[in-house]
Each structure stands twice: as C-alpha cells, then as structure tokens.
Structure 1
Amino acid sequence: MTERVSVGGLSPLHRSVLKALAEMGPHARRDLAAQMDVPPADVSRAIRDLLAQGLVQDMVVNIGGRHEVVTLTPTGTTALTTMQDDMNAVQDVLLASLTRGERTQLHYLLRRVCATAARVGAVRSASS
C-alpha cells in the first residue's frame, strides 16, 4: 500500500496530513502536528511538499497572534479520495481470500494489537 501511495510522490505522512485536514478542517501547523502526534518539523516538511503540489494552501490569520492556517484545496480533496479508493482496491485484493467474518475478526485482532502497542509505547515514554 505504501508503494502505491508513493507512486504519486506522497508518503504515508503526506496522506495522513491530507486525511487529518479533511477530517478536522483547517489547522495551524503546530496544532495539526499535536493532533497527529507527529513532530512539528515532520509535519512542516510534509505541508511544504503538499503546498508545492497545490494539494493544500496556507493563509495567515491574525487572531490572538499570527498563525499560519493550512487547509485542503479542491485538488487535495480529489487526491485524497483517489488515494483512499486505491487503498480500498489494494485491500480488497489482499483480503480477497478471507470471508466477511474473517475480515471482521482480523480487524478486531489488529485493533487489539495496535491498542496494546499504543499502551506499551505510552508506558515506555513515561518511564524514559
């Protein structure tokens, strides 16, 4: 799946930024990084790449100080929809041999594994 997204010159982080903006609406760069739990420098690099491709736009807002707010462009929305459709097609191919019940069970198990990984990561971060 990562290879399919990368064909368009976009990394999983680029896709995550587009998805976050689509779901949460316009955000200041720093707030977006905090919401995504990604280092601000990484988010800024991804935004710079997305700006260059015309997938996002930024504007200066002067409310309680100067903020650069990033928002999705119509081209960005189209690109995100195309990526999501492509990801769904790849997922359908990968999971074609599974029944609907097996897919549900796999989804459940993967959510449990991810939740455990998140808890373990939080415990390790706190003990550092």
Structure 2
Amino acid sequence: MTWSSWSAAVALAVCAVVHFPLRGDGFALVPHALAVGLPVLCTALALLLVVRPGVLVLAASVALPSALAGTHACGGPFPSDVLSRAVGLALAPQWLAGAAAVAAALLALTALVVRVVSPFPGRHWAVWPVPGTPRAPD
C-alpha cells in the first residue's frame, strides 16, 4: 500500500466524520437515510482502501466524495433536492464538509493515478538474464 492510498483512506475517514448527521431538524426518512448512508459508504471505502487498494475501490473513492463536493457546491439553488437536504444535515459547517469532500476526492484521484501508472512489482519490469549466462535449474 502506497502513501497515496493511505492519505486517501484518511481523507475519506475525515469526510465521513464531518458528513455524519447529529441533528434531526424534522426532515423525512429519505434525507436521514442518505445523511447516514453516505458517511457509512465513505467509511467502508476508507476501510477497503486500507485492506485492498484496487482500481475499482479507488474509482469509487473518487466518485463518492466528488458527488458530495458537487452537492455542496450546487446544493443551494435546489432546496427541494433530497441529496442537498441530506448533505445539509452534516455535523460540520457546509464550507468545512465541502472542503473535506474536495480533499478526499483529489487524494483518491491521486492514488488512482499512482496505482494505474506505477508498474506492478515483479511482472512488467523484471530484469532479464544476460544472454549466454547459465540459468539456475528449476
């Protein structure tokens, strides 16, 4: 596991904490379910990044905080939108929760690029023996 995957996992955990709802504010069940479900998904992705930082997990780790950051950025003009109401229940202020989502998305994108660009150890860049040297028996 590389430093980029660790930093993305930490950023996703912070994003989950600041998006967790602690107040009810009289909203319906669907915004509450989203308000609890999104931080749980962030936490699950952070744990998956610690255990197995694969490309699919990293792609999901980019998509979820990006959706949260987009909702924070454009959620104001759409007060009837369920997702913007759910994000409005976050523990932290909107500017802090949005910044945490942006940071998590950017760090996950960095980890994804590092994962895709870096060669797999032992597969692609193995040193070939010099021609004419005796090989060890298998």
Return the TM-score normalized by structure 2: 0.35
Rg larger in structure: 2
* Structure that is richer in strand per residue: 1
The answer to which structure, 1 or 2, has the higher relative contact order (CA under 8 A, 6+ apart) is: 2
User: TM-score, structure 1 length as denominator?
Assistant: 0.37
